[in-house]
Structure 1
Amino acid sequence: MIPQLVTIRHRRPDGRWRRRYVPVLPVLLLLAPLLLIALPVGLIACLVVRVNPVAASRGVGQVLCALPGTRIEIGQGGKALLISVR
């Protein structure tokens, strides 16, 4: 199952949190033309470095399926960032 929503929270300078929601499907549809360009480039890159393209695409698919439930937290000083994938 691919991720459906990415939530990005960051702390503002005044200490309050700002939350942004990014739906994955509309972004994916907007970037589809770029994906059509990236596919042959990735295939050529696999052939250049002698990696099986089927195995590489399977690995990318497994990474995408593992993304839901991922949380990334970064903090330094008064700044903080939290990224949650659902």
Structure 2
Amino acid sequence: MSMVMLSPLTHIGVRVHGLLPGTTTRVMGLSNRIVPGLDEGSGRSETIEGREGERHLDSTLVTTLATWGRKAAQRFNERP
């Protein structure tokens, strides 16, 4: 089975997981609990499409990234 690893950090992670799989799993589970998730009181627990997120977030960065994505989709004939 072949894998593509893009960064040096990925290489390190794969090697650490190979040596200590249980520890790696526990650390990843702990980090999953630490990283903040959705706000329980916000009422936004469902997944939304990217095009809907662009309208909801009203961010220049999100708009720029969405524009690049639309242009790439148009260039490679992937528009619906």
TM superposition score normalised by structure 1: 0.30
Q: Hey, which of these two has a bigger chunk of strand by percent?
A: 1
**Structure ID, larger Rg:** 2
Bigger relative contact order, structure 1 or 2 (CA pairs below 8 A, ≥6 apart): 1
TM superposition score normalised by structure 2: 0.31
Q: Hey, which of these two has a bigger chunk of helix by percent?
A: 2
